[in-house]
Amino acid sequence: MAEFDLLIKGGTVATASDSFRADVAIRDGRIVALGSSLGGAEREIDATGLFVLPGGIDAHCHIEQESSMGLMTADDFYSGTVSAAFGGTTTIMPFAAQHRGQSLRQVVKETHEKAGPKAVIDYAFHLIVSDPNEQVLGQELPGLILDGYTSFKVYMTYEALKISDRQMLEVLALARRHGALTMVHAENDDVISWITDRLLTRGYTAPQFHAVSHPRIAESEASRRAIDLARLIDAPMLIVHVSEAEAARAILEARNSGLEIYGETCPQYLFLTAEDLKRDGMEGAKFCCSPPPRDAAAQEAIWRGLKNGTFQVFSSDHAPYRNDETGKLIAGPKPSFAQISNGVPGLEVRLPLLFSEGVGKGRLSLNEFVALTATNAAKIYGLHPRKGTIAVGSDADIAIWDPTWRRTISQVMLHDAMDYTPYEGRQVTGWPRIVISRGRIVVEEETLQVERGSGAFLERRPSERKLVAARLAPELDPDRNFGADLL
């Protein structure tokens, strides 16, 4: 019997810190050796001229989830995970989303029932908390954190989801006590609804006005406010899907001042602009997401943030609603921008876009690419070192990239359940040839190789940070004259 199940030979291995020539030996789903002249294997892959990278982790995607308007995403856990795998992603972190009045426990149970029989790659769930009532704060959330659901998203906007600043403080304090991380959708809801009402009254209903109704200032004000709430009680926080320079600056300044504040951005803020929302007719609806894409200067600021440590995580925020009567046009063929479900797809193209424009054009090193697309998310969300790196003992989640493979992105080549991609016609160089999850070859020769339901749920543990969280760091704010016992 061969010593290894699989041997990847002759490739350039890259982690978040190093690049080196090594063969990678895999047994029982794990990496068991890195080196040269390793023993025999059941199957050998010649990776000469290719990059051997950790499989991507998409730490923000909406799969088989109802939007705040009650619309189900086009992708379920089968099409979503297949699509992710074809783009080099081997772990996804979608949401178990609570709508008001629902039990979080029940929502988690139902999300497991959806994912278990369908997912082809591994997955963990964040929670969405829209109803932080006594039962949720006192019992459900602490219990769920202990059970390994250690990150949850809250919204400062969307009528059906938003929480108040006071509720945010309750959630942050709880996360701090129990070793969890709060993710924040930061946009000022009153600013958005005030502008929206004025636009609609004056007849400005086309998709392009979605961008007008979600100005940068709504995002930067809410980001600063969220960070200040975290600062008040020294709680960790991650601001999701950042689109513009001021919010990015607030995140970097907060972290430089010693706070545990993280930032996430997404492809739509590097590769789309508000001009896309002006496309003819309802074409612009394809680009309506929140926050909206901005302009070339904002794109440059986001690139800078990927390089200077503002952003740790590059996620897709895949929110797939087809541009037809089942999705964005469910309210009719010509809805107002306020009736169009927010979100763009991007699960499959997230990595190729960043690889091509980032690594290929010299904006990011290969190691930075790995950090932003896999390792940092694994560390922040409690999956490291099992996921997010290539090391002895880690799961054999690997994408073997051909850095010379030129492709033109088109919806027909993608594997999601969508009827459009916002990146139609865009040329990229670099795409994974083979994708491996826990030692199983998932994608090879542009073909899916595994069965539905073969992905596994990933258990997590509350963060060690709770051990040091008893301290309130007075140096962060000299006016904060209450003690940690108040929390």
What whole-number distance in Å separates Cα of residue 302 and Cα of residue 340? 26
* Distance in Å, CB of 292 to Zn ion, minimum: 12
* Distance in Å, CB of 85 to ligand URP, minimum: 22
What would the two tokens of residue 421 be?
Answer: 């991609």
Nearest residue (CB) to ligand URP, 68 versus 463 = 68
Q: Which does 323 bind (CB under 5 to 8 A by kind): Zn ion, ligand URP, none?
A: none
Nearest residue (CB) to ligand URP, 241 versus 440 = 241
Tell me the residue number closest to Zn ion, measured at CB.
185
Which residues, 6+ apart, have CB-to-CB distance to 29 below 8 Å? 395, 396, 438, 439, 440
* Distance in Å, CB of 487 to Zn ion, minimum: 26
Nearest residue (CB) to ligand URP, 154 versus 366 = 154
What whole-number distance in Å separates Cα of residue 225 and Cα of residue 321? 30
What whole-number distance in Å separates Cα of residue 84 and Cα of residue 188? 31
What whole-number distance in Å separates Cα of residue 48 and Cα of residue 54? 17
Q: What is the DSSP letter of 362?
A: T
Q: Which does 196 bind (CB under 5 to 8 A by kind): Zn ion, ligand URP, none?
A: none
Site residues (CB under 5 A) for Zn ion, limited to 172-231: 185
Residue 416: exposed, middle, or buried by beta-carbon count in 10 A (0-12, 13-18, 19+)? buried
What would the two tokens of residue 193 be?
Answer: 């609804």
Nearest residue (CB) to ligand URP, 402 versus 419 = 419
* Distance in Å, CB of 163 to ligand URP, minimum: 14
* Distance in Å, CB of 342 to ligand URP, minimum: 3
Q: Which does 336 bind (CB under 5 to 8 A by kind): ligand URP, Zn ion, none?
A: none
Nearest residue (CB) to ligand URP, 35 versus 70 = 70
Do residues 196 and 213 touch, judged by C-beta distance below 8 A? yes
What whole-number distance in Å separates Cα of residue 327 and Cα of residue 11? 43
What would the two tokens of residue 314 be?
Answer: 């590059």
Strand order in the sheet with 19-21: 19-21, 12-14, 51-54, 398-408, 427-437, 440-444, 447-448
* Distance in Å, CB of 290 to ligand URP, minimum: 4
* Distance in Å, CB of 258 to Zn ion, minimum: 27
Stretch that binds Zn ion, among 31-39, 72-80, 231-239, 317-325 (CB under 5 A): 317-325
Tell me the residue number closest to ligand URP, measured at CB.
342
* Distance in Å, CB of 359 to Zn ion, minimum: 25
Nearest residue (CB) to Zn ion, 284 versus 345 = 345
* Distance in Å, CB of 319 to ligand URP, minimum: 4
* Distance in Å, CB of 10 to Zn ion, minimum: 39
Alpha helices in 234-344 (DSSP H): 245-256, 268-271, 296-307
What whole-number distance in Å separates Cα of residue 352 and Cα of residue 359? 10
What whole-number distance in Å separates Cα of residue 399 and Cα of residue 435? 4
* Phi, psi of 66, deg, nearest 5: -85, 135
Q: Which does 289 bind (CB under 5 to 8 A by kind): Zn ion, ligand URP, none?
A: ligand URP
Q: Which does 342 bind (CB under 5 to 8 A by kind): ligand URP, Zn ion, none?
A: ligand URP
Nearest residue (CB) to ligand URP, 239 versus 441 = 239
Strand order in the sheet with 89-92: 56-58, 89-92, 122-123
What would the two tokens of residue 214 be?
Answer: 């979600």
| CA nearest to 290, candidates 380, 212, 198, 365 | 212
Nearest residue (CB) to ligand URP, 211 versus 399 = 211
Q: Which residue's entry shows tokens 């790995």?
A: 370
Tell me how far CA of residue 235 lies from CA of 226, 344, 409, in angstroms: 11, 30, 41
What whole-number distance in Å separates Cα of residue 156 and Cα of residue 171? 13
Nearest residue (CB) to ligand URP, 219 versus 395 = 219
Q: Which does 161 bind (CB under 5 to 8 A by kind): Zn ion, ligand URP, none?
A: none
Nearest residue (CB) to ligand URP, 126 versus 379 = 126
Four-point Cα dihedral 450, 432, 8, 43, nearest 10 = 30
The reply to whether 317 sits near Zn ion by the rule CB under 5 A is yes
Nearest residue (CB) to Zn ion, 94 versus 432 = 94
Contact string (CB under 5 A) for Zn ion, positions 51-70, x = contact: --------------------
* Positions that interact with ligand URP (CB under 6 A): 62, 185, 241, 289-290, 317, 319, 342-343
Q: Which does 438 bind (CB under 5 to 8 A by kind): Zn ion, ligand URP, none?
A: none
Q: Is the dihedral of CA 118, 123, 128, 132 positive or negative?
A: positive
Report, in angstroms and rounded to the nearest whole number, the Rg of the chain calculated over CA atoms.
Answer: 22
What whole-number distance in Å separates Cα of residue 168 and Cα of residue 355? 36
* Distance in Å, CB of 117 to Zn ion, minimum: 24
Question: Which residues contribute to the site for Zn ion (CB under 5 A)?
Answer: 185, 317
